[in-house]
Structure 1
Amino acid sequence: MNEQNRNLILATLLSFAVIMTWTLLFPPEEIAVDPAAQVATQSVDPTVPLADPVTPDATSPAIVEQTAPDVARIAIETPELTGSISMLGGRIDDLALTDYRETLDEDAPIVRLLRPVGELDAYFAAFGWTATDGIDPAAVPGPDTIWSVETGETLTPSTPVTLVWDNGAGQIFRTEISVDDLFMFSFAQSIQNVGTETVSARPYGLVRRHGEPSDAKRFFILHEGLVRMSDGELEETSYSNITDHTFDERERTLADRIDVQQSGWIGYTDHFWMTTLIPATGTPFRSTSKYFEARDLYQVEAVMPPSVVPAGETATVTIRLFAGAKEWEAITHYENETGVDRFIDSIDWGWFFFLTKPIFWLLHNLNIIIGNMGWSILALTLILKALVLPLAYKSYVSMARMKELQPEMEKLKERAGDDRQAMQQGMMKLYKENTVNPAAGCLPILLQIPIFFSLYKVIFVTIELRHAPWIGWIDDLSAPDPSSLINLFGLLPYAAPDPGSILSLIFIGLLPILLGISMWMQQKLNPAPTDPTQQMIFAWMPWVFMFMLGGFASGLVLYWIANNCITFVQQYAIMRSHGAKPDVFGNIKSGLKRKKPDADSKPDK
C-alpha cells in the first residue's frame, strides 16, 4: 500500500468518525405533529369547532383517570396475546405478548404492552362517541361509561365479544370487538336509534399513555414516540418534541390547520412494540396528537365523520387497533393483505431506508432457510461481498499495480528530494502512464460505510434480532458479547460487566478481540508505512477499533469479522493473480521488530 492510499484510508476513517459524531450530536430533524391540530372531515363545516372526545367542554365528557377495580373484565386469549378488557369505557388496558419475555431468563416475565390506570406506565386504548346533533352530550358513551357484555365470554380469534350500553333516551350503543391470531383488533361501533328523531354522533378511538415510558431507550439511532401516516406522509415525533406543544384542557379553540385525511394511522411506537389506531381506508377522518402537561398525559386520537342515524335505523363504523410486536411478517401482512397504507414504515428504517429495507429482507429470508440469525449474518456478508466484488476487484488490481510501481516511486523520491511539487507531478505522470488510479484502493472501504450503518440499524431496531442466539455463549445477537476476561470468556459462571460501564470498555468479549485480530491480519497484506506517524496510527488502529466496538451488538461485530476475513482472502488472491506477492508473515515479523534510530539522522530545524 503506498502513501496515497494510506492517506485516503485515514481520511475515510476520519470521515467515519465525523459522521458518527455528527449523527450523535445532530440527529435528523423530526416532523412534528401539531398536537392541538384539528383535522376536519369533508362533511363538516370547517368554521365550526369540532367536538373533542377527551377535552371537557359543553359537548364532550371529561377525562376519567380513576381506577375501577370492581368493574367486570373480559379475558383476551390469542396465540400471541393475553390480557383483558375493562368495562370502564370499554378500555383495552391489560395486554401482554406471550411469545416475548423481558430478559433471556427462562422465568422472566412476559412483555406487558398495555397497563390500567393506577399502575406504573399506564397505557390503554378506548373507543367512544361524541354528540353532534339531536342527542344530548351526556347521552353518548365516553371514557367513564360502564358497559355491559351482550355476547361472548372470552375474546379469541374465533369468538368476538359485544359490549352494549343503553342511554335510556332512545339510542343503544354497541361495540363488537374481534381480534385475529396476530396483533390486530377491530372495534365495530354502532348506534341503534330506537327513538323518534334523527340523531348524529361522531365515533372515535384514542390511545393514552401516562408519561414517557420508563424503559425508553432514548438513543439517537432509534425513534420512540408518536408515529403517524397521513395520506402517504410519514411523521415521527419524539416524546420530548411532543411536550413542546401542550394542549390546554381549559380552552376550546378552533385549530389553525384544517386537514382532510383519507388514509393512514396514528399511534405510539417503542423499540419493539407499537399501539396504533387504523381507521378504514377511504373514509375521511382526523388524527390528532395532544400532550396534557398538568397530568403528563400523551394522547393520540382518530375521530371519524358523524354518523347520521334516522329513527329505527342503525349505523356502524369500524376502527382497527394494532397492539403488539413490530414483526416484519405481521406488518407486511397487514399492509399487503388488509390495505394498511405503508404500514411497513412503522418500523424505523432510518436515513438509509433504501439499504436497510433490502438488507433486512435478505437477512430475514436467509434466516428462514438457515434457521439461525448468526449463520444468516455470515451468509449475508458473503452475498454483499459478492455483489461488490467487481468494484473490489478493480481496487485490488490497482493496489497490485501500485506495488509494482513501488521501485519507480522510490527513484522518483530520490530525484525530487524536498521538492513536493515535482514529486506530485512525477507521481501523476507515473500513474497516467501505467493507467493506475490511486483513489481506487479506498473504494471498498467507502462502500462499507453505508452498509455498516444500515446493518447496525437493522440489528438494533428489528425485533427479529432481539434475543436471537448464534452459537455457544452468543445468546443474543442484538446485545454485546457477554464474554470477557472476568469470566474467562464464558468458561466461568460469572456475568460480564454491564454494557456501558467502564469495566465493559476494558474487559471486552471474545468477538471484539477476534475483530481486532482480523483487522490486524488484513493490514499485514501490505508492508508498514515508512512514515513513523502513519506507522504508529496503523499499528494502533485495529486495537482501537477492537475496544471501540466492544459494546456494539454481537451481530454487527460478527459481520465485521466475516467481512475482514473475506476481504483478506479476496485481496490476497487477486494481488497474487496479478503478480504481487503479499508477504504476510514477513510483514508481521518486520512489524514486531523495533527499528533503531538512524545515528546519522538529524532532527529537522
Structure 2
Amino acid sequence: MDNQRNLLLAVVLCGLLLFGWDAMMQQFYPQPDRPTPTQAAAPAPSASSAPTREGGLTDPAAVALEKRDLATALKSPQRVRIDAPAVSGSIDLVGARIDDLTLKGRRETLKKDSDPVRLFSPAGTPAQHFAQFGWVGEGLRVPDAKTVWTAEGGPLAPGKPVTLKWPNGEGQVFTIELSIDDNYLITAKQTVGNASRAPIVVRPFATVSRTSATASLDQWTIHSGPIGYFDDGVDFGTDYDDIAAAGRLTPEGSARWIGFTDIYWMSAIVPQSTARVDADFRSLGGGVFRADAIYQPLTVPTGRQISRTTQLFAGAKESEVLGGYERAGIAGFDNAIDWGWFGVIEKPILWLLRWLYGIAGNFGVAIILLTVIVRGLMFPIAQKQFASMAAMRAIQPKMKAIQDRYKDDKPKQQQEIMALYKTEGVNPLAGCLPVLLQIPIFYGLYKVLMVSIEMRHKPFALWIQDLSAPDPAHILNLFGLLPFTPPSFLAIGPLAVLLGISMWATFRLNPPATDPVQAQMFKFMPWVLMFVMAPFAAGLLIYWITNNLLTLAQQSYLYSKHPQLRAQAEKDKTDQDRAKARDAKAKG
C-alpha cells in the first residue's frame, strides 16, 4: 500500500512538473501573440506587448508606426551619415543626437532578406533609443535638444572624424569631435572655448535614452535592463521597474561605464577615466529611461578651452570585441555579458567552441566535438566509477549481513558499514563524481548558448537553422502541415524525442533500482525530461543527445571490462521480475 501511494504521488508530481513547466516557460520564454486582422489594423501601438527573448517591437501597430516615423525622420537633410565596418546610420544635427544606428552583419531574423538589427531610433518613435552629448551651465547659453549644429566632414568612418560646432553668440564655441573604430565604439571629444571677458562654468554630459518597449526578456538567469560598472563590479541587480519606482536611481560607487543592455545588444557611456562624474538612471515617463554621466563643473578661463572625452559603445556584445575593449582600458567590459556564477567555466567553453568551429565550420558539429572532448577527459573518472561500482557489488553480501545483524541498532550498523568501506577500500560516493562534474559543464554550455551572440542564427543541419533557439519542428502539428502552434509543453520536436529515447536507453543500461518507487520514477524520468527540455536551445539538446550516446558506448565498453557488474545487473533484474510475479500471483 505504501509503495502504491508513493507511486501515485510520484505520478502526480511528474504531472505537475510537466504541466507547470508550460506556465514557467511562458514566464521565462514568452512568445508574442500572432497578430489578428483586428490587431494589424489598430491605429495605435499597445504598451502591454510581452517582451521577447531578443527584444524589439512586437505589436503590429507599433512596428508599422516605427517604419513610418523612420521614413520621415531619416529623410531630413540635417543629418550626417555613419558608415563604419560594423555599423551604419546617421547623426541628427538638431540636438547633436546619434539616433540612427543599425548593425551590419546582424539580421533581425533568419530570412536572407531580413533587415539589419536596428539599435538606435530617433526620439519620439516607438523604438526610440539614442545617445546625446552636451553641456549644462548657469549664466550662459548652452546647446539643447533644439540646437542646430554645423558639421565638418562625413560620413563618420574609421580615420574620418566628424566635427560638430555651435557658437552661442556670447563668446563661447561648443565643439563635439566624433570618431569611430572598426567595431562599435564611438569617441566624443567635447570642447568648449571661451572668448568672452569672464570665466564660465560648465558641466559636460553624455546620455543614453531608450524605451523599455523594445527591451529583451529579463530572466533570472540572463539580465536585461540597466547596467553599469560601479567600483569593482558589474551591476546586474537593477531593472526598469526599479527605476520607474524610484524616478531617479543613483548606483553606489564610482561609475566606470553606465547604460542599458539586452541579451545580445548594449548601449553604454564610458566617461573619461581621469575625471569624476555623477552617474544615475532616470525614468522620463511613458516607459522611457535615461542613463546619465555628468562631469564635475569645469571653470573655463577667458581665452582658454577645456575638453572631456567620452566613449559610447553601441553594438553587439561579442565577447572577443568586449574583451579587446577591456584590455584597452574599459574596466569589466567583458563581464557586460551576464555569465553568472560559472563564468570561469563558460568562457573556456566559448573559446573552445569557437576554436572547434574554426576547424569544423559548423557550430552544431563543434558542440558534438566539445561533448566528445569533455567525455574523453572524464573517461578516467568513469573508469574509477565503474571500479567503485564493482567493488560495491562485491561487498553487497557482507553489507547485507551487517544490516541483518544490527537491524535494531542503526548507529552500530552505520559504524560497521563505514568500517567495511574502509577495510575494502570502497568509496560509495565515487559514482556521484561524474554527475557532479557534468552539472557545471551542462549549465555552462546552457549559458553560452543563451548569452553568447556567436551562437545566434548559427545553423546545424536540415531544419535546425538556429542553435540558440528551440527546435522549430513540432510533431503534434505534423511539422507545420497543420495550421496551429502547439502549447510549449506539447511542442515536442525530433530532437526532444531523440533525447528521450537516448536517455531511456542509458537508464536501461544502469543497474535496476531495488526500491519499487525509484524503479518507476526511472521509467518516467526520460519522458518527463523530454517534455521539460523541448523548449530549450537546440544546441543544448544536441549536446545532451550526444552525451547520452557516448554514455551508452562508454557503459557498454566498461561493462565488458567489468562482467560481474552486468551479471549482477541481470540477476537483479531477474530477481525483481520474479518478485513482481509473486506479488501479482499473491494478489490474484
Query: In which range does the TM-score fall when normalised by the shorter chain?
Result: 0.7 to 0.9
Q: Deviations over 1:150-201 (max 9, x none)?
A: x113112232211111100001111111111211111111112222322231
Matched, 1:121 2:127: yes
Shift of 1:299: 0.9
Name the counterpart of 1:130: 136
Alignment of 1:228-243 (within 5 A): 228-236=228-236, 237-243=238-244
CA distance in 2, matches of 1:71, 1:584: 83
Equivalent residue, structure 2, for 1:161: 162
**SS of residue in 1 equivalent to 2:509:** coil
What's 1:576 paired with? Answer: 560
Matched position secondary structure for 1:100: strand
Q: Which of 271, 274, 283 is the equivalent residue of 1:291?
A: 283
The residue number in structure 2 matching 1:193 is 194
Runs of at least 5 residues in structure 1 that lack an aligned partner in the other structure = 1-9, 28-66, 249-254
1:146 matched to which residue of 2? 148
1:73 equivalent in structure 2 = 79
Measured after TM superposition, the shift of residue 516 of structure 1 is 1.5
* Per-residue deviation, 1:223: 0.4
- Compared CA separation, residues 314 and 471, structure 1 to 2 (3 A): same
Q: State the partner residue of 2:546.
A: 562
The range that moved more, 399-408 or 449-458, is 399-408
Mapped contact 1:75–1:85 kept (Cα < 8 A): yes
Q: 2:332 aligns with which of 327, 342, 356?
A: 342
1:563 positional shift = 2.0
Give the aligned residue type for 1:560: W
For residue 538 of structure 1, the aligned residue among 506, 509, 522 is 522
Cα separation, 1, equivalents of 2:447 and 2:428 = 32
Q: 1:258 to 1:590 in 2, by over 3 A?
A: closer
| Separation in 2, partners of 1:318, 1:359 | 36
> Would you say the 8 A contact 1:497–1:507 is kept in 2?
no
Give the one of 535, 546, 560 matched to 1:551: 535
Q: Deviation string for 1:501-526 (max 9, x for gaps)?
A: 52x43241122222122222222223
- Equivalent in 77, 85, 97 of residue 91 of structure 2: 85
**Structure 2 residue identity aligned to 1:194:** A
Match of 2:315 in 1: 324
Query: 2:67 — aligned with what?
Result: none
Quote the offset at 1:467 in angstroms. 0.8
SS at match of 2:190: strand
The CA distance in 1 between the partners of 2:352 and 2:276, in whole Å, is 37
Query: 1:346: how far off?
Result: 0.6
Give yes or no for contact 1:484–1:496 (8 Å, CA) kept in 2. Answer: no
Q: Which amino acid aligns with 1:438?
A: P
1:281 to 273, 278, 281: 273
SS of equivalent to 1:561? helix
Aligned equivalent of 2:372:
382
Q: Is residue 463 of structure 1 aligned with residue 465 of structure 2?
A: no
Which of the numbers 496, 504, 510 marks the counterpart of 1:512?
496
Query: Which structure shows the higher helix fraction?
Result: 2
Letter in 2 for 1:468: K
Which sits farther off after the overlay, 191-200 or 90-99?
A: 191-200
Q: Distance in 2 between matches of 1:527 and 1:577?
A: 16
Give the one of 252, 260, 263 matched to 1:268: 260
Change (3 A) 1:213 1:587: farther
**Higher mean C-alpha displacement, 235-244 vs 220-229:** 235-244
CA–CA separation in structure 2 for the residues paired with 1:109 and 1:591: 64
TM-score (norm 1): 0.78
Q: CA deviation at 1:466?
A: 0.9
Alignment partners' CA distance in 2, 1:163 and 1:432: 79
Shift of 1:343: 0.6
Are residues 585 and 304 of structure 1, via their aligned partners in 2, closer, same or farther at CA, if it must alter by over 3 Å?
same
- Give the structure 1 partner of residue 475 of structure 2: 485
Conserved 8 A contact 2:512-2:569: no
User: Residues 180, 265 of structure 1: CA spacing in aligned structure 2 closer, same or farther, 3 A cutoff?
Assistant: same
Corresponding position: 1:391 with 2:397: no
TM-score, structure 2 length as denominator? 0.80
How far 1:586 sits from its partner (Å)? 6.4
CA contact (8 A) 1:400 1:579 kept: no
**Alignment length, in residue pairs?**
523
CA distance, structure 2, for counterparts of residue 441 and residue 430 of structure 1: 18
Give 1:447's match in structure 2, choosing from 422, 437, 445.
437
Matched, 1:178 2:174: no
Would the aligned equivalents of 1:400 and 1:575 in 2 still touch at CA under 8 Å? no
Quick one: distance in 2 between partners of 1:584 and 1:565? Answer: 23
Residue of structure 2 equivalent to 1:39: none
Confirm whether residue 362 of structure 1 aligns to residue 363 of structure 2: no
Q: Is the 8 A contact 2:512 2:572 kept in 1?
A: no
Cα distance between partner residues in 2 of 1:576 and 1:278: 61
Q: For 1:208-227, what aligned pairs fall within 5 Å after superposition?
A: 208-210=209-211, 212-227=212-227
Q: Report the CA distance between 1:419 and its aligned residue.
A: 8.3
Q: In 2, distance between residues paired with 1:258 and 1:522? A: 51
- Tell me which amino acid in the other structure corresponds to 2:324: H
> Does 2:586 correspond to 1:598?
no
- Alpha-carbon distance between aligned partners in 1 of 2:100 and 2:304, rounded to the nearest angstrom: 34
Query: Which deviates more, 117-126 or 525-534?
Result: 525-534
Cα 1:226–1:193 change in 2 (3 A) is: same
- Counterpart CA distance in 1 for 2:571 and 2:133 is 71
Alignment of 1:35-74 (within 5 A): 72-74=78-80
**Per-residue CA distance 1:208-241 (angstroms, 9 max, x = gap):** 113x133521322110111111232322211122
User: 1:110 and 1:576, CA in 2 relative to 1: closer, same or farther beyond 3 A?
Assistant: same
RMSD: 3.5
Among the aligned pairs, what percent are the same residue?
A: 41
**Residue 590 and residue 520 in structure 1: after superposition, are their counterparts in 2 closer, same or farther (change >3 A)?**
farther
